[in-house]
Structure 1
Amino acid sequence: MEKGISKRSTKAIGIEAFVFTGLLLAGFLYVANIMGAGIMFKVIMNTAHDLLLNTVFLIMAMAVLAGALSALLSEFGVIELLNKIFAIFMKPLYGLPGASIAGAITTYLSDNPAIISFSKDKSFTKYFKNYQIPALCNLGTSFGMGLIVTTFMISQGEQYVLPAIIGNIGAIIGSIISVRIMLYFTKKFYNYSSESDLSNLKLSRSEDLREIREGNVFQRFLDAMLEGGKSGVELGLAIIPGVLVVCTVVMLLTFGPSTDPNTGAAVYTGAAYEGIGLLPILGEKLRFILEPLFGFTSPEAISFPITSLGAVGAAMSLVPKFITDGIVTPNDIAVFTAMGMCWSGYLSTHVGMMDALDARQITSKAILSHTIGGICAGASAHFIFMLVG
């Protein structure tokens, strides 16, 4: 039996077997009818292969570096210091200990899964109650690639500096909402009892003491760095199934065909990341809700948050053309920054991150919470821009 996963017995062949088979065949037939069966499987294989080489290994590299940083921060007391300083802000806003700010900063500088390295460090998690640890997934994702998204938006022109800053504020608001909703679900899932939890905390730790490694400062530095990096490798392996399976499906539903370089026509070649463009079509159907909520003036702008569901890096690649074609405004950039940061491809990473947190059973709750948080982030950025823009 897999760690953290409970199983039970049921009838060998039931109605769900026929329903699942029917839905699976319907999905494959729908996609194959658009791009062709052979092309479909070629796209799936090429996309998964490219994700493994260019996404998973990139995440693993960041996880190794983040794991090393996490261990060093723990070893030399920085996390304890952050916990003392930021507890006054993090507790009332997020319902999390002050140490969680270290994870938020790390993901802002890198990407979503970087916070998982902290969650595997006992010197970090000792500040958390059991129900708070899964919420790190939503906290980290809210700030994933934040620095990259912000600097990218600012680089598009001086007029986008203020919108990018407003977008960061919107992302913070969205992160608070996402984490708070997630904590509501996790308290129920873990049957949280404040009385028993407080008594356990009194027995399990002292605020004035922390464990350190043996040896001199240089030896402790090397040991912490290498052990933390090793945890990043384990994380990189753990997220492979979630990233490859979920992200491949999202990409297949998000993007469209390639463009023939000679004729300019849309064609399916079997290249990685080709798709049927279903999610943008669904987004177009929701224009009557999304435009007043986010202030978009062009229907094409909807494709940014839709694409951010799968990969914010891909979504950012849309922005220069939007600006060149004059179909986005500074308000749109503020919303793009907020939603790009807050969502940052969470449909692609949430499954793997929740699995790494040993909380796979409540992945759907994490996704629901973060969906609401991302929408609130974009709406907040829009209304803040209306006030100060």
Structure 2
Amino acid sequence: MQNIVAGKEKRKIPYLDTLAFLVLLITFFGYIGIKMGISNMFSTIMATAYQLLVDTVLYIMAIAVLAGAFGKLATEFGLVKILNKIFSPLMRPLYSLPGVASLGIITTYLSDNPAIISLAKDDEYISYFEEYETPCLCNLGTAFGMGLIVTTFMIGLGYFKEAVVGNLGAIIGSIVSVRIMAYRTRKAMGVSKATVEKNSYKRDLSDTLIERSEGSFFERFLTAFLEGGKLGVDIGLSIIPGVLVICTIIMILTFGPLDPSIGYQGEAFEGVGLLPKIGELIAPASKVLFGFERPEAIAFPITALGAVGAALSLVPNFLKNGIIGSNEIAVFTAMGMCWSGFLSTHVAMLDALGHRKLIGKAIGSHTIGGIIAGISAHYILVLINSLSKLF
């Protein structure tokens, strides 16, 4: 037996990961360098990253600070408790989860995906869930992560109606994602029939799971405001790597030279225009499903898979270049909020929940949910616009 194992180890190709990385690196930079020129390529990369940092990251950070302050104030003065009471009775019919799962929606909407893990680690909170339901918290939390920041960002650009429609689309996508995940986990974990809810929304856990500070109203207000703003700064700092790395790559693959008659000049936001060519291949499908008018728009959902903060960084330039309009804003809000960079968080979140073996099922379910979110936002907006013309 040992000889067989030793034989298998000998047949393993040494430095396979290194070779794969070198091939990928040479292919990527070789393709861009040939198209743009080596000096222009590096100049564009640095200039694009700098412009994203100054013009976009700081703007998103400002939104994150304000949203974080509001979220902390909502927690401190009981708004979260009220929202939890309102939404708890809807959780079983919509998501097939206990009513206390609504607390996970609210906390992640006000902050980020991993916020639901702190709830799941609370023994009292998790006791309301059946064993097969706990992995679904990963999909539920991710579908609403950074929701307030995404929504505020789009509203700040002047698209209130589209942001609201996007939220509706994200809710629909979250229901699809969680229900598919619940079906698959029930099947995988050996539960053959639905279980009875354990008195889940007869008791309010928000008082025991959410800490409140002491002092006068003004002291509590000021403390919550500053602590929430500090959390927003942390979120803003955490998105910098994703924005600068992922978004720089996406923009280089999306745009062409600023002035085609002159060619590449090494300026910010120049690129090789590869993604639009790929987008043209799926343009008929993206037009029907999401209403995208331009193939470049596909860059947003692709980026949102890894980092929604980086995806948001694409929006101002897309608007400036006339690539997107109100429909795309609604779809971007829905897909950005629902996917919320889940490929970069799902593994760690499920690992923290103790269900690493279900990663593939969670990712598959959430991919479908995000697509449904985009489709829903598009057709809801089409319906609203059609009704507004009639009336």
TM-score (norm 1): 0.67
C-alpha contact 2:331 2:378 (8 A) present in aligned 1: no
Residue in structure 2 matching 1:139, options 117, 138, 144: 144
Is the aligned partner of 1:271 residue 2:267?
A: yes
- Return the offset for 1:85: 0.9
1:242-292 CA-partner distances (Å, limit 9, x unpaired): 222211111111222112xxxx72632222221111111111112343344
Tell me the residue number matched to 1:342.
Answer: 334
1:338-361 CA-partner distances (Å, limit 9, x unpaired): 312223499995567769979799
Tell me the residue number matched to 2:7.
Answer: none
Is the aligned partner of 1:44 residue 2:48?
A: no
Give me the whole-angstrom Cα distance separating, in 2, the residues matched to 1:295 and 1:57.
30
Shift of the 206–140 alpha-carbon distance from structure 1 to 2, 3 Å rule, reads: closer
Tell me the residue number matched to 2:376.
Answer: 377
**Equivalent position SS for 1:251:** helix
C-alpha contact 2:116 2:138 (8 A) present in aligned 1: yes
Equivalences for 1:162-201 in 2 at 5 Å?
168-169=164-165, 172-178=168-174, 180-181=176-177
Tell me the residue number matched to 1:280.
Answer: 276
Give me the whole-angstrom Cα distance separating, in 1, the residues matched to 2:277 and 2:103.
42
Residue in structure 1 matching 2:297, options 299, 304, 310: 304
What is the count of residue pairs matched by the alignment? 348
**Equivalent position SS for 2:28:** helix
Equivalences for 1:1-389 in 2 at 5 Å?
13-94=14-95, 97-99=101-103, 102=106, 114-115=111-112, 131=135, 132=137, 135-140=140-145, 145-146=150-151, 149=154, 168-169=164-165, 172-178=168-174, 180-181=176-177, 207=205, 209-210=207-208, 211-259=211-259, 265=261, 267-294=263-290, 300-307=293-300, 309-310=302-303, 311=311, 314-315=314-315, 335-344=327-336, 368-369=367-368, 371-377=370-376, 380-381=379-380, 384=383
1:41-92 CA-partner distances (Å, limit 9, x unpaired): 1111122222222333323222222222222111111101100012234553
Give me the whole-angstrom Cα distance separating, in 2, the residues matched to 1:121 and 1:12.
41
Shift of the 166–17 alpha-carbon distance from structure 1 to 2, 3 Å rule, reads: closer
C-alpha contact 1:91 1:98 (8 A) present in aligned 2: no
Give me the whole-angstrom Cα distance separating, in 2, the residues matched to 1:266 and 1:371.
40
Give me the whole-angstrom Cα distance separating, in 1, the residues matched to 2:337 and 2:166.
17
Shift of the 245–313 alpha-carbon distance from structure 1 to 2, 3 Å rule, reads: closer
1:134-155 CA-partner distances (Å, limit 9, x unpaired): 643332467764466478687x
Tell me the residue number matched to 2:8.
Answer: none
Shift of the 255–48 alpha-carbon distance from structure 1 to 2, 3 Å rule, reads: same
**Equivalent position SS for 2:266:** coil
**Equivalent position SS for 1:258:** coil
Give me the whole-angstrom Cα distance separating, in 1, the residues matched to 2:206 and 2:262.
64
Give me the whole-angstrom Cα distance separating, in 2, the residues matched to 1:68 and 1:247.
27
Give me the whole-angstrom Cα distance separating, in 2, the residues matched to 1:27 and 1:169.
37
- Return the offset for 1:26: 0.8
Shift of the 14–368 alpha-carbon distance from structure 1 to 2, 3 Å rule, reads: farther
Shift of the 227–312 alpha-carbon distance from structure 1 to 2, 3 Å rule, reads: closer
- Return the offset for 1:376: 2.6
**Equivalent position SS for 1:98:** helix
C-alpha contact 1:141 1:344 (8 A) present in aligned 2: no
Structure 2 unmatched ranges of 5 or more: 1-11, 304-310
Identical columns (%): 30
Q: CA RMSD in A?
A: 4.8
Aligned AA (1:289): A
Give me the whole-angstrom Cα distance separating, in 2, the residues matched to 1:250 and 1:227.
34
1:1-31 CA-partner distances (Å, limit 9, x unpaired): xxxxxxxxxx894322212211221111111
**Equivalent position SS for 1:267:** coil
TM-score (norm 2): 0.67
1:201-227 CA-partner distances (Å, limit 9, x unpaired): 99xx96374442122222222222222
C-alpha contact 1:167 1:337 (8 A) present in aligned 2: yes
Give me the whole-angstrom Cα distance separating, in 2, the residues matched to 1:62 and 1:292.
33
C-alpha contact 1:31 1:276 (8 A) present in aligned 2: yes
**Equivalent position SS for 2:294:** helix
**Equivalent position SS for 2:102:** coil
- Return the offset for 1:39: 1.1
